[in-house]
DNA sequence: CAGAGTTGCTGAAAGGTTTCAAGAAGATTG
DNA sequence: CAATCTTCTTGAAACCTTTCAGCAACTCTG
C-alpha cells in the first residue's frame, strides 16, 4: 500500500478550510470509496510514527442540517436551586431526594425527579465534594498502561471498587517520574478516596507525605516496608529464583539478565532473585550477564536482542531471563529474525505471563503472577483503610509460579 | 510448582488477626525464603482465576517502629485561610500567589510560599473548580483497556493533553454498556473539560445530550455523522476491504469473518468492507462465513478457533479475517494447538497491527491504523473545541494500511 | 509639589451543594 | 379531644476557593 501524503496534517490547523464535498482528487480508488473528501497532502511530517506513513487523511465538517445554531445550551446548567423552584420545594428537599431518597415522600420525590429530568439537572460533583468532604473516586496510577499486566491488575481494582460503589480513574505514569509526580499532585488536590500506585522507584517519601496528609495509599506490585501504607506484592525475588533455577536445571550456565532501568523495584528484585539462585547452585556471579535496558518495553527488548545476537557465539549466553514479558517478546522477535533458534541457541524466560506470552512466536516460559487478584486485593485494602477506623496497614505477598513453555523446554 | 492453599484468602478478612512473626509453617523452602510469615491457607476458593492457584499468600502487618501513633494528621488539611494567617497576608494574596504569581511582590510571595510549605498546603481542587468553573482534566473512556490498541491511542491523547497543560484520566468501559453509562454520568458530574470516547454502540443519544449540556465530546475510532461533536476515525470499511481483497488475491474463496458483538461499530464496518470486497470481486455473499463472538478478546478468539477447527476440512473456510488482533491471536493460538497449519490450512488476517501481532507464533498479517495519531488528533480537536469560540465540528478520517506477514503469505 | 500612574494588597461576595436543628402537618394514643 | 409521636419539609450555615472593585502607598511627570 503506497503512501501519498507522508504524514497527516494537523487537523486543527485546517479548521474551516476543509471543503465539505469531494473537490479534491481521490488518492486511490479504494480510499475514495467511503470518504469522499479531499486528501490533505502535506509536506514531510514532523516525525510522527517514523516507520510508517498514513496517507490520505480526510477532514470534513461534521454533518447535520442546521449549521447556524451552535455554541449555546451550555452556560448555566440547572442547579439544585432551579430544580427546587421548578418542583415547588426547598433546596433541602432536593438534596434529600439526591442523597436520602427514603426520607422524602413518594409524591414529593416524583415531583422533584420530574423537575430534574425536565431541566436536565446534573449534580455538580465539585460542590458536592466540597461540602460533603468525600470523593467517590479511587485512582490507580499505573507504571505502564501499555503493559497488559497492569491493565489486568486494573481490572481487578475496578471489580473491587465497583462492588463497593466506587469508580476508578486510571492514570499512566509511563515509567516517567515527572508524570508520576504530576499525577500524585493532581490526585491529592482532587481529594480522591485513595490512591493505588505501582511506583517508579523505591523512594516513597512522596507517598509517605500523601498518606500522612490523609489520602490512603496502597502500593501495588511492590512490597514497601514502612507503616505508612499497605502494599500488595508478589515475591519477585522468589520469581527470579524460580526462573534461574529452571534454566540451571536445563543445563544453562551463562545466563543473561535483561532488565532496566535499575530504579524500578521489580527489576532489582528479580535480578537479586536470579543472583541468589546462582549462588545457591554454587555458580560464580559473573555467570549472570546483565543487559540493562532503558525501559520495560518490547522495543527495548528488541534492542537487547540486537546486542545479544551481535555477540560471538562463544561469548553469548545460552539463556536469557527478562524482567518482564514485553522485553522477552521483543528479545525473542529480534533474535529469531536474526537467525537465532529459540530455545536451541537461546532459551528465554519472561515474567508476568501476560496473555500474549503463550501466543508468541515461540510460546514463552514465564513467571506468572496473580494479576487481577493483585488489583482486587489492593483495592480491598484501600477500602478497608478508608472505612474501617481501626485499619492496620498490611503487607500482602503472593507467590509467583513458573509456567514452562517452548521457549525453554523446546519439546513441542 | 505445586500449590498448597488453593486460593488466596481475602486479606481484609484477616485484618488484625495476622501475626507479625513467622508462626505458621512455611509452605515450601523457596516460598518461605523472603517472606517469613504465616501462609494463610483457606478452603477451596471462590472461583478466582480458575485455571491456576496461587499458593502461599502471606499477610503481615506493615513494618515500622511506633505502632501507637496512627490515624491522625489527616483531619483538617490546612487551607488557604491558614496559609494567609501564617504568612500574615490576606486570602486574596494567597490566591494570587497560586494563580497569578506575577502580580505579587517577590518578598510577599516568598513568605506565602514558605507558609504553604510548612503547613503542607494542598489546594482543594473541588473548591477551585466550583468557583473558577473550569476543570483541568480531560477523560478518555476506552472500549477495552486490555487491548494495546487503545492504550496506544491513550498515549497519543496524553501527549497532546500534556502539551496543553491538561491531565488525562483513563476510564475503561470494558465493552460493558452499563459501565460506559456510569462513567459518562460520573464525568459529566465532575465537569471535566471534555470527554474522548470510543463508544460501545452507535447510538449516541447519550453523547449528544452530554455535548448539548456543555461537555465537549470527541468520538475516537468511530465516524459519527451528526453535528454535535467531532470524531476521529480510520476508514474501517476500507480496512475490511483491504483485508479481504488481499485474501482473494491469494486465491482464498471461502473466508470467515470473526467478530462481535454486532453492536460495535468497528465490527460492523469491517464486516461491511469485507462484504464489499467480495461483491467487487463478483463472489457471492455466502462466501463470507460469519463467526460472531461475544467480545473482541483473545479468549473469544480461542473460542472461535475451536469452532473453526471443529469443522470438517471440506466445509472449513481457508482463511479468516478477524475484527481485531486480539481475536486473531486467540484464533491463531487455538488453531495451531489443534494442529492446523497457518497459513497453509488457514490464513489469518488481524486488525490494528498491535505490537504483539508481529511477535505472534506466526507473525500476523494485519490492518494497521495510526494509533497514537488518532489519540493526539482527537485530543487536539477537543482542545480546540473548548478554547476556540468558533470551533466547527469535524470528522477526521485516516486511511488504514495492510501489513502483510507470514500468517497469510507464508513466505518466511 | 500636585496630579496622575503604578504596584501590591485587601475584604467581601459568590459558586452549588450538603447538613442539621427546628418547624409543620398528620397520625396515634389515653 | 388534648397530648404525644411520626413523618416530611424548610432555611440558613458551612465547605474552600477565586474574583474583583477598591484602597494605600509609591513613583513619575511637568
| Number of CB atoms found within 10 A of residue A193's CB | 22
Half-sphere exposure of B359 (CA within 13 A, CB side): 26
Band of the pLDDT at B262, cuts 50, 70, 90?
very high
Q: What is the mean pLDDT of residues B280-300?
A: 97
pLDDT score of B58: 77
pLDDT of B55 above 60: no
Band of the pLDDT at B226, cuts 50, 70, 90?
confident
pLDDT score of B29: 32
Among B37, B63, B214, beta carbon nearest to A227: B63
Residues of B in contact with A392 (CB under 8 A): 15-16, 61-62
DSSP of B267-310: HHHHHHHHHHHHHHTT--GGGEEEEE-SSSSHHHHHHHHHHHHH
Distance B77 CA to D9 C1' (A): 34
Task: Report pLDDT digits (tens) over A267-307.
Answer: 999 999 999 999 999 999 999 999 999 999 999 999 999 99
Classified as helix, coil or strand, A365 is strand
pLDDT score of A305: 96
Band of the pLDDT at B14, cuts 50, 70, 90?
very low
Q: CB < 7 Å to strand C — which of 30-89 in chain B?
A: 88-89
pLDDT score of A54: 56
Q: Which residues contact A139 (CB under 8 A, 6 or more apart)?
A: A168, A169, A170, A171, A183, A187, A192, A194, A195, A196, B169
Instruction: Report yes or no: B84 and B90 within 8 Å, Cβ to Cβ.
Output: yes
| Number of CB atoms found within 10 A of residue B381's CB | 30
Give domain limits for chain B: 80-123, 137-234+373-398, 236-369+402-409
CATH fold for the domain made of A137-234+373-398: Rossmann fold (3.40.50)
The architecture CATH gives domain B236-369+402-409: 3-Layer(aba) Sandwich (3.40)
Distance B92 CA to C16 C1' (A): 21
pLDDT of B47 above 60: no
DSSP of A163-205: HTT-EEEEEE-TT-HHHHHHHHHHHHHHT-SEEEE--SSS--H
Which residue blocks in A88-124 are alpha helix, DSSP H? 91-99, 106-119
CA end-to-end distance (rounded Å), chain B: 37
Task: Encode A312-325: b = buried (16+ Cβ within 10 Å), e = exposed.
Answer: eeeebbbbbbbbbb
pLDDT of B5 above 80: no
- The answer to whether some atom of strand C lies closer than 7 Å to the beta carbon of A76 is yes
pLDDT score of A45: 35
- A vs B, Cβ pairs < 8 A, gives 373
DSSP A364: P
Band of the pLDDT at B225, cuts 50, 70, 90?
confident
| Gap between the Cα atoms of B227 and A288, Å rounded | 61
Q: What is the mean pLDDT of residues A75-100?
A: 91
Residues of B in contact with A128 (CB under 8 A): 189
pLDDT score of A225: 79
Q: In what order do the strands lie in the sheet with A401-403?
A: A288-292, A255-259, A319-322, A347-352, A365-368, A401-403
pLDDT score of A391: 92
- Grid coordinates of B249: 488475491
Q: What is the mean pLDDT of residues A360-367?
A: 95
| Gap between the Cα atoms of B14 and A318, Å rounded | 45
How large a percentage of chain A has pLDDT more than 70?
Answer: 82
Band of the pLDDT at B60, cuts 50, 70, 90?
confident
Distance B134 CA to D17 C1' (A): 13
- The answer to whether some atom of strand C lies closer than 7 Å to the beta carbon of A91 is yes
- Give kind and range of the element (H or E) at residue A321: strand A319-322
| Gap between the Cα atoms of A318 and A67, Å rounded | 67
**Phi, psi of A79, rounded to the nearest 5 degrees:** -105, 180
Among B12, B360, B381, beta carbon nearest to A381: B12
Among A58, A171, A392, beta carbon nearest to B170: A171
pLDDT of B18 above 90: no
- Averaged pLDDT of chain A: 85
pLDDT score of A40: 36
pLDDT of A154 above 80: yes
Half-sphere exposure of B82 (CA within 13 A, CB side): 13
pLDDT of A62 above 90: no
- Grid coordinates of A139: 485512582
| Gap between the Cα atoms of A331 and A323, Å rounded | 11
**Positive/negative CA dihedral, A57, A61, A64, A65:** negative
- The answer to whether some atom of strand C lies closer than 7 Å to the beta carbon of A123 is yes
pLDDT of B316 above 60: yes
Looking at the complex, report in whole angstroms how far the Cα of residue A254 sits from the nearest Cα belonging to chain B.
Answer: 22
| Gap between the Cα atoms of B83 and B90, Å rounded | 9
| Gap between the Cα atoms of A268 and B215, Å rounded | 45
Strand D contact nucleotides, protein CB < 7 Å: 7-21
- Averaged pLDDT of chain B: 85
Residues of A in contact with B155 (CB under 8 A): 145-146, 172, 174
**Nucleic strand D interface residues, CB < 7 Å:** A 88-93, 96, 103-105, 107-109, 127, 130-131, 133; B 76-77, 79-81, 91-92, 94-96, 98-99, 121-124, 127-128, 130-132
- The answer to whether some atom of strand C lies closer than 7 Å to the beta carbon of B90 is yes
pLDDT of A394 above 90: yes
Band of the pLDDT at A76, cuts 50, 70, 90?
low
pLDDT of A74 above 50: no
Q: What is the mean pLDDT of residues B22-51?
A: 33
Q: Choose among A12, A111, A6, A350: nearest CA to B386.
A: A12
- Grid coordinates of A343: 530455545
Nearest CA in chain B to A370: B54
pLDDT score of B2: 39
Q: Choose among A158, A380, A274, A103: nearest CA to B8.
A: A380
Cis status, amide bond into B261, omega within 30 of 0: yes
> At the top level of CATH, which class does the domain A236-370+402-409 belong to?
alpha beta
Band of the pLDDT at B45, cuts 50, 70, 90?
very low
Q: What is the mean pLDDT of residues A230-239?
A: 96
Q: Do B242 and A1 touch (CB under 8 A)?
A: yes
Q: Choose among A173, A194, A174, A191: nearest CA to A182.
A: A173
| Number of CB atoms found within 10 A of residue A231's CB | 24
Q: In what order do the strands lie in the sheet with B401-403?
A: B288-292, B255-259, B319-322, B347-352, B365-368, B401-403
Q: What is the mean pLDDT of residues B26-49?
A: 33
Band of the pLDDT at B204, cuts 50, 70, 90?
confident
> At the top level of CATH, which class does the domain B80-123 belong to?
mainly alpha
Instruction: Report yes or no: A60 and A18 within 8 Å, Cβ to Cβ.
Output: yes
Task: Report pLDDT digits (tens) over A172-230.
Answer: 999 999 999 999 999 999 999 999 999 998 777 899 999 999 999 999 999 887 788 99
Across B23-63, where does the E strand assignment appear? 58-61
Indicate if B236-369+402-409 has the same CATH topology as B137-234+373-398: yes
Residues of B in contact with A71 (CB under 8 A): 389-390
Q: What is the mean pLDDT of residues B193-199?
A: 97
Task: Report pLDDT digits (tens) over A23-40.
Answer: 233 333 333 333 333 333
Amino acid at each position: 500500500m503506497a503512501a501519498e501524503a507522508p504524514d497527516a496534517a494537523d487537523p486543527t490547523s485546517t479548521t474551516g478550510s476543509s471543503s465539505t464535498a469531494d473537490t479534491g482528487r481521490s488518492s486511490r480508488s479504494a480510499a475514495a470509496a467511503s470518504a469522499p473528501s479531499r486528501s490533505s497532502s502535506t509536506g514531510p511530517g514532523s516525525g510522527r510514527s517514523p516507520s510508517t506513513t498514513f496517507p490520505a487523511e480526510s477532514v470534513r465538517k461534521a454533518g447535520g442540517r442546521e449549521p447556524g445554531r451552535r455554541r449555546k445550551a451550555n452556560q448555566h446548567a440547572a442547579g439544585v436551586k432551579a430544580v427546587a423552584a421548578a418542583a415547588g420545594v426547598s433546596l433541602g428537599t432536593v438534596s434529600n431526594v439526591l442523597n436520602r431518597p427514603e426520607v422524602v415522600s413518594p409524591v414529593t420525590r416524583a415531583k422533584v425527579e420530574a423537575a430534574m429530568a425536565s431541566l436536565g439537572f446534573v449534580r455538580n460533583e465539585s460542590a458536592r465534594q466540597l461540602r460533603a468532604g468525600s470523593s467517590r473516586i479511587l485512582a490507580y496510577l499505573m507504571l505502564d498502561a501499555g503493559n497488559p499486566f497492569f491493565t489486568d491488575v486494573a481490572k481487578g481494582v475496578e471489580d473491587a471498587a465497583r462492588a463497593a460503589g466506587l469508580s476508578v480513574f486510571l492514570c499512566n505514569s509511563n515509567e516517567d517520574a515527572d508524570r508520576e509526580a504530576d499525577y500524585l499532585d493532581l490526585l491529592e488536590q482532587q481529594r480522591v478516596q485513595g490512591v493505588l500506585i505501582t511506583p517508579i522507584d523505591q523512594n516513597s517519601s512522596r507517598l509517605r507525605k500523601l498518606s500522612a496528609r490523609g489520602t490512603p495509599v496502597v502500593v501495588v506490585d511492590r512490597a514497601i516496608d514502612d507503616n505508612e501504607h499497605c502494599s500488595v506484592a508478589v515475591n519477585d525475588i522468589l520469581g527470579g529464583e524460580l526462573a534461574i533455577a529452571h534454566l540451571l536445571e536445563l543445563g544453562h550456565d551463562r545466563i543473561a539478565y535483561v532488565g532496566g532501568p535499575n530504579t524500578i523495584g521489580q527489576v532489582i528484585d528479580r535480578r537479586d532473585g536470579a543472583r541468589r539462585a546462582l549462588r545457591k547452585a554454587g555458580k560464580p556471579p559473573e555467570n549472570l550477564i546483565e543487559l540493562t535496558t532503558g525501559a520495560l518495553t518490547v522495543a527495548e527488548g528488541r534492542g537487547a536482542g540486537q546486542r545479544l545476537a551481535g555477540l560471538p557465539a562463544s561469548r553469548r549466553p545460552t539463556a536469557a531471563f527478562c524482567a518482564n514479558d514485553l522485553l522477552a517478546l521483543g528479545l525473542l522477535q529480534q533474535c529469531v529474525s536474526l537467525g537465532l533458534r529459540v530455545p536451541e541457541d537461546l532459551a528465554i524466560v519472561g515474567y508476568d505471563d501476560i496473555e500474549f506470552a503463550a501466543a508468541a512466536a515461540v510460546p514463552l516460559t514465564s513467571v506468572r503472577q496473580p494479576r487481577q487478584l493483585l488489583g482486587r486485593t489492593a483495592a480491598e485494602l484501600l477500602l478497608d483503610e478508608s472505612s474501617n477506623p481501626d485499619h492496620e496497614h498490611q503487607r500482602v505477598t503472593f507467590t509467583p509460579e513458573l509456567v514452562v513453555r517452548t521457549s525453554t523446554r523446546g519439546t513441542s
